[in-house]
Amino acid sequence: MSDLPEQIGELWQRRGELSPADTDARRIVVEVVDLLDRGEARVAETAATGEVVVHEWLKEAILLLFTLSEMRTTELGPFEYVDKIPLKTGYERAGVRVVPGASARWGSFLDRGVILMPSYVNIGARVGASTMVDTWATVGSCAQIGERVHLSGGVGIGGVLEPPNAAPVIVEDDALVGSRCMVTQGARVGAGAVLGEGTILNPAIPVVDAETGEELSRGVVPPWCVAVSAARRRELPGGEFYLPCVLVLKRLNEGERHDKAKLNDVLRTHGVSA
Ligand SMILES: CC(C)(COP(=O)(O)OP(=O)(O)OC[C@H]1O[C@@H](n2cnc3c(N)ncnc32)[C@H](O)[C@@H]1OP(=O)(O)O)[C@@H](O)C(=O)NCCC(=O)NCCS
């Protein structure tokens, strides 16, 4: 793997000239995407300082894969698909449960104990051990989802592929993301946080402490708290408007599960969706 970053860097420099006919280039890119698929490389990680480190060359490899791949038709019963990227395989060996209707693209990594209800996981995404991806949830390209997370029904985790240095969405271990939340553009949900249904979180959305009124961040929900969608009043030339914000309602002790989060365990045990 040692010189792969260099080789990808070189291919990236001349990406305008590449095509699916460049089999040597494709071989290198496939080798890199295989590393992502097996979980031996990851697009981004959180450093000890809390900073998100993005491994740009891995994202470049994913983007190159699209340039270097032909469209192919797949037929499955009455269904027909036309795409450049195959689906993941080998779930039983990987200890992953995949309910019919779920699909994950090759180049995403699903760790042991992951449950995919009918949902979608895109290339470059990483889903940690024992995480539940509930019905109609989507995990966008390169998103990094921790262990024991619950992505509830209809959650949209945005994909961040371009530019290669852009940080993907990160949801840390033990978080519960409520139904139909939209977490996009490199937003972050801290460990053990509970995000109420329908919350929109992106790097422009203020996260406010309900007790102090302090704006804690933009687009980052702190660890071990319960946060819900709220609105803040803004006076603009056109009148008075209410723009979304995220309100941190309460703080949890580290390791404490919010009562409603216990539902998570019930759902997991019975393999049903909410
Ligand atoms: C966010 C959540 C944890 C809050 O629960 P809670 O701590 O018991 O809080 P409460 O229900 O007492 O509500 C507290 C306040 O937040 C408000 N609130 C609750 N959920 C909200 C939401 N999703 N969006 C906005 N406000 C919300 C309540 O109206 C209440 O306001 P009030 O104090 O003015 O009456 C809860 O709504 C929840 O569990 N959501 C996730 C559920 C889910 O999606 N499950 C799917 C997987 S099973």
Q: Tell whether ligand 1 has an atom less than 6 A from the beta carbon of residue 166.
A: no
Report the nearest atom of ligand 1 relative to the CA of 197: 23
101 is written with which tokens?
């209707």
**Ligand 1, atom 10: closest residue by C-alpha:** 249
Each residue's pLDDT expressed in tens, for the chain with a length of 274 residues:
569 999 999 999 999 999 999 999 999 999 999 999 999 999 999 998 989 999 999 999 999 999 999 999 999 999 999 999 999 999 999 999 999 999 999 999 999 999 999 999 999 999 999 999 999 999 999 999 999 999 999 999 999 988 988 999 999 999 999 999 999 999 999 999 999 999 999 999 999 999 999 999 999 999 999 999 999 999 999 999 999 999 999 999 898 877 766 655 655 655 544 4
Q: Tell whether ligand 1 has an atom less than 6 A from the beta carbon of residue 263.
A: yes
Q: Tell whether ligand 1 has an atom less than 6 A from the beta carbon of residue 127.
A: no
Residue 168 class from Cβ within 10 Å (0-12 exposed, 13-18 middle, 19+ buried)? buried
What is the CA 18 to chain-centroid distance, rounded? Answer: 29
Residue type, 50: G
Whether pTM > 0.95 for this model: the answer is: no
Residue from 136, 181, 249 to probe ligand 1 pocket by mutation (most atoms less than 8 Å from CB): 249
**Ligand 1, atom 4: closest residue by C-alpha:** 196
Q: Tell whether ligand 1 has an atom less than 6 A from the beta carbon of residue 194.
A: yes
- Separation CA 230–CA 207 (nearest Å): 10
- Separation CA 142–CA 215 (nearest Å): 28
Q: What contacts 24+ positions apart, CB below 8 Å, involve 136-144? A: 139/108, 140/168, 140/169, 140/184, 141/62, 141/168, 142/43, 142/44, 142/59, 142/62, 142/168, 143/168, 143/169, 143/170, 143/171, 144/42, 144/43, 144/44, 144/45, 144/168, 144/169, 144/170, 144/171
Q: Tell whether ligand 1 has an atom less than 6 A from the beta carbon of residue 229.
A: yes
**Which residue ranges form the domains of the chain, and what is each CATH number?**
4-72 (1.10.166.10), 88-253 (2.160.10.10)
- Residues 238 and 212: beta-carbon distance below 8 Å: no
Report the nearest atom of ligand 1 relative to the CA of 274: 48
Specify the pLDDT at position 268: 61
Ligand 1 centroid – CA 91 distance (Å) = 35
Other C-beta atoms closer than 10 Å to the C-beta of 163 total 10
Closest alpha carbon to 44 in 168, 183, 184, 176: 168
Q: Tell whether ligand 1 has an atom less than 6 A from the beta carbon of residue 252.
A: no
What is the CA 263 to chain-centroid distance, rounded? Answer: 22
Q: Tell whether ligand 1 has an atom less than 6 A from the beta carbon of residue 30.
A: no
Ligand 1 centroid – CA 228 distance (Å) = 7
